[in-house]
Structure 1
């Protein structure tokens, strides 16, 4: 992956790909979501509520949000080819090895998630509320998993497959490439739903998650382990008990949670950090099996 990034090492090419990808995704994603929402209202991702605009609060709407990341996949492949002379396989690593590493890491992460769901959350001020009937949830689950696969593959393809390896090639340093791409990924998680210093928590957590994913990619030589870790992480949040009112359409339950209070709770911050550390170590062990 890094060898292919050495073909075009100029920083200006990385910047152009970043800007071009951001422009295309920012323009086409809402446009396509709007068109699809008009054609098929049950897939409408944006709804107006008394408290404002809600995104992805229905199963169909959430599926469209996740599936719309296909735009990022196409943009990444096209711009990486045009400006950096890199093919799709250059961005993902060898196909057979990717599938093998994904399957192994996925099994370990799935087991870890099952164990962690038995551990009581330290922030207990929220209440679980029923949202979807079990039958309806099971009907939507296959489509939801497909949408989730598109979403996590798109992010890993761009941030680890292209950006990280391209920065490693440009800087000549794995540490710099992993760190710089992680910072870009982290700042992409700025949220308008949280105010004050609490808004830094999603950014910091996403940055450390990107460091984990970046390290796994550098060690494995493919996107397989990072995709597996990303998939399991997002699956737990999206399908079990998401926060009510925000990308919650696939939740079997929802949590009525004050995000500002939760993200400023030092106990919760330490708990989430510990989970991320355990995730990284478990994935490292999986790669050695």
Structure 2
């Protein structure tokens, strides 16, 4: 059976997904994503047991120490990088850097812009939350306190930023590079190359034990984020902007976090009921801010890479 080849217009003007050609068969993509996650879970188990052995303790006791628990969780994302490297080499016969698009490198200018935009969006979300008492008069007070000594936190900042960098690039390369390239090269429908993978991405964040009914709103939030990042990636033709947005958003946790989440590196922690209606409103308001920011950007941004104008692959 002959291998699929890129349409003529894609061959003449390389798009973000063009490195996926010619091995875009669905069976390869499905086997690839399964293999990546098998390797990820294997590495996760290895990291936790290796960490427990290094600290001369058992896994359960290690997880009781908040900075250590958070660090271990972030380190496990190395498994995604390893899984991607193996799958790309064995199943798709292409290099790891092809995940960055035809240029085979990250556009760091886009990354910096993504960081600045994410900081702006987070500031806007904070301002929106400050208005909540006007339409939620029974809003309970959220107590905030310093959770780490300043010197300890200062020592942890650089390692924490490195771990966040590893984590966000792992997720972006799996969902906004590998899956996006493979599916966009094969299908034209946004439902297949953006919405479906983003829904999977969102469902991976489903945590009813922590969030209760708000876990549904959190899945919605992360799904919307995934769709936005997929469209941003294709329109900029590089993973840089999406990675910058993701990095700045997650790096905020190093300064301020919510108790009960990934709070091990946070200088300040606030305590609030993650299952409350107020938390649900907070999540939905953040989602609304993201959508407004995306619509404003979309109206002003030039479409460097069209998102659905290339003929479907054979």
Question: Which interval holds the TM-score relative to the shorter structure?
Answer: 0.7 to 0.9
Normalised to the residue count of structure 1, the TM-score between the two structures is: 0.85
Q: Are the equivalent residues in 2 in contact too, given 1:220–1:287 (CA < 8 A)? A: no
Q: List aligned pairs for 1:102-117, cutoff 5 A.
A: 102-114=111-123, 116-117=125-126
Structure 1 segments of 4+ aligned residues over 6 angstroms from their partners = none
The answer to whether residue 217 in structure 2 is matched with residue 211 in structure 1 is no
SS of equivalent residue, structure 1 residue 84: coil
- Change in CA separation of 1:112 and 1:264 when aligned onto 2, cut-off 3 Å: closer
CA shift, 1:70, in A, is 1.2
Aligned CA distance change for structure 1 residues 264 and 148 (closer, same or farther; 3 Å): closer
Aligned residues: 280
* Native 8 Å contact 1:160 1:223 kept in 2: yes
Counterpart of 2:54 in structure 1 is: 39
Unpaired stretches in structure 2, ≥5 consecutive residues: 1-15, 134-138, 303-314
Q: What does residue range 11-30 of structure 1 map to in structure 2 within 5 Å?
A: 11-30=26-45
Counterpart selection for 1:100 from 92, 95, 109: 109
The gaps in structure 1 that reach 5 residues or longer are none
**Could you tell me the TM-score, scaled by structure 2's length?**
0.79
Q: Distance in 2 between the 1:32 and 1:134 partners?
A: 28
* 1:148-180 deviation per Cα after TM superposition (whole angstroms, max 9, x unaligned): 000000000001110112111222334520112
The aligned runs of 1:1-289 (5 Å cut-off) are: 1-40=16-55, 47=61, 58-93=66-101, 94-95=103-104, 98-114=107-123, 116-117=125-126, 120-121=129-130, 122=132, 124-125=139-140, 126-194=142-210, 197-236=213-252, 238-262=253-277, 265=280, 267-281=281-295, 284=298
Residues 46, 211 of structure 1: alpha-carbon distance in 2 compared, 3 angstrom cutoff: farther
Cα distance change on mapping 1:275 and 1:135 into 2, 3 Å:
farther
Q: CA RMSD in A?
A: 2.8
Deviation at 1:68, TM superposition (A): 2.1
8 A Cα contact 1:24 1:75, kept in partner: yes
Between the aligned partners of 2:278 and 2:204, the Cα distance in structure 1 is: 17
Q: Which has the larger radius of gyration?
A: 2
CA distance in 1, matches of 2:202, 2:268: 27
